[in-house]
Structure 1
Amino acid sequence: MKRIIIVFAFLAILASCNSETKTKDNGTEQSDTTIKLETDTSGEVDIALKDITTDEALIATALMAAPEESRANATVIGYNMAGEFVTLKEGSNEFICLADDPNKAGFSAACYHKNLEPFMARGRALKAEGKTFQEIFDIREAEAKSGKLDMGGLGSALHIYFGSETQYNPETSEVPGAQYRYVVYMPFATAESTGLPEVPLAPNHPWIMNPGTHRAHIMISPIPQKKE
């Protein structure tokens, strides 16, 4: 009888140990799974993209065209959401950024040295008058040659940030898939005066466009970065 009681007591203790072990194992597995899920989730979460439908979004994405260290103090101009061409943000440095036009397909923002503003403003004014691209070119050509139009000197830069998407990441202000192109204005420069070809020899190679005219400029189109 005594032996039977001892056996039952031993079985009870063993059952208790097994139960405790299962509880700890389940708790550990649950904890590990939660951490793993959190890790997996944090690595896979996509930031919700937003449409560029506010003046704040226009400003944020326009500034992406400027060098990073110059964005905070750059001026931003362009069409606001009401369709008016205004100064969206006052700045204090040498850069003027042109915001994306909400009424045009795709995305295109630009940022240029303030020395180019007379040239850019004249183009906008002529376009508002209904002039065609060739008419604008010819008028500015004549005015630049006569000295009436200030071209800003040699080497004034234009940064272009463009793409097909019309949404942006509100945390980084980046437009998915957008890429950069750079233009360096060299009024009346030629292939002979610069040593640059008139057509690109390979991707990412500089070349001179509109050589010999007021609009002569060096084109630089970086190769888009591959997504890993």
Structure 2
Amino acid sequence: MMRLGRSMMVLGGALIVAVTVALSPPLVLGEGGARRDAVRQAAESAAAENAAPSSLSKHATILNRDGQVVRIGSNGWMCLPDDPGTAGTDSICMNESWRHFMDALKNKKKPTFTQIGIAYMLQGDRPVSNTDPYATEPKPGDEWVDKLGAHVMVLVPDAETLKGVPTNPNNGGPWVMWAGTPYAHVMIPIDSYPSQ
């Protein structure tokens, strides 16, 4: 009798566990939660890949905007999707030097890199100050870059080599953004800028 009771308890416990496991995903993820996450992740990956030529981005590591790896790449490049919290489309693909540069900018530190940095933004960029790396809105007398289309950005280890490169974003060609700061870099428009 005791053995039968234990068997029934074990059987009953297994049934409870099976029912709990079967019901848990909708309760934890919400209806279609896993599918929504997969769709969002696929959309973010596609947006990140669109920042650079596909010959480069299809082999790049894809990060989400929190810096978490979505896909491990094989060519040393990293791509991030557009930040939905900003105006414009700012998906970006970059090499390691540019990644160090972005980390320094975010943490308000002097960038340290010894190799040329290259970043693609073929979907355009958010509105940004041409002179102040930390400006969040236009100020009187500030040059503001807005509606910038496809472009490439280049970092050089020695900022002295940028002397003589224009700093005016409206010159019709490449220019130095954030000149005179540790974050100076060359902007190379692919689409006409200013747009015509």
State TM-score, norm by structure 2: 0.56
Using the alignment, how far apart are the partners of 1:202 and 1:69 within structure 2? 30
Q: Deviations over 1:45-98 (max 9, x none)?
A: xxxxxxxx611011011111122211221011123xxxx541111111121111
Q: Deviations over 1:152-195 (max 9, x none)?
A: 3253111112368xxxxxxxxxxxx99312110124524x7543
Which consecutive residues of structure 1, in runs of 5 or more, have no partner in the other structure? 1-52, 127-135, 145-149, 165-176
- Structure with more of its chain in helix, by fraction: 1
Q: RMSD across aligned C-alpha pairs, in angstroms?
A: 3.0
Using the alignment, how far apart are the partners of 2:62 and 2:105 within structure 1? 17
| 2:117 pairs with one of 156, 162, 166 | 156
The count of residues paired between Structure 1 and Structure 2 equals 134
Counterpart in the other structure of 2:93: 111
SS at 1:54 equivalent:
helix
For 1:162, give the aligned amino acid.
Answer: G
State TM-score, norm by structure 1: 0.49
Counterpart in the other structure of 1:199: 168
Distance of aligned partners of 1:121 and 1:69 in 2 relative to their CA distance in 1, 3 Å threshold:
same
Which consecutive residues of structure 2, in runs of 5 or more, have no partner in the other structure? 1-38, 127-146
1:221 matches 2:189: yes
For 2:165, give the aligned amino acid.
Answer: L
1:69 matches 2:76: no
Does the CA-based 8 Å contact 2:76-2:95 persist in structure 1? Answer: yes
Using the alignment, how far apart are the partners of 1:95 and 1:107 within structure 2? 19
Shift of residue 122, structure 1, vs aligned partner:
3.8
Distance of aligned partners of 1:179 and 1:123 in 2 relative to their CA distance in 1, 3 Å threshold:
same
Does the CA-based 8 Å contact 2:105-2:183 persist in structure 1? Answer: no
Does the CA-based 8 Å contact 2:57-2:93 persist in structure 1? Answer: no
1:185 matches 2:146: no
Identity between Structure 1 and Structure 2 (%): 27
Distance of aligned partners of 1:187 and 1:214 in 2 relative to their CA distance in 1, 3 Å threshold:
farther
Shift of residue 212, structure 1, vs aligned partner:
4.2
For 1:180, give the aligned amino acid.
Answer: A
Superposed counterparts of 1:126-145, under 5 Å = 126=107, 136=108, 140-141=109-110, 144=111
Using the alignment, how far apart are the partners of 1:178 and 1:195 within structure 2? 23
Does the CA-based 8 Å contact 1:187-1:217 persist in structure 2? Answer: no
Q: Deviations over 1:196-219 (max 9, x none)?
A: 12224632x112223343212111
Does the CA-based 8 Å contact 1:155-1:186 persist in structure 2? Answer: yes
Does the CA-based 8 Å contact 2:166-2:176 persist in structure 1? Answer: yes
Superposed counterparts of 1:28-47, under 5 Å = none
Does the CA-based 8 Å contact 1:61-1:109 persist in structure 2? Answer: yes
Counterpart in the other structure of 1:102: 84
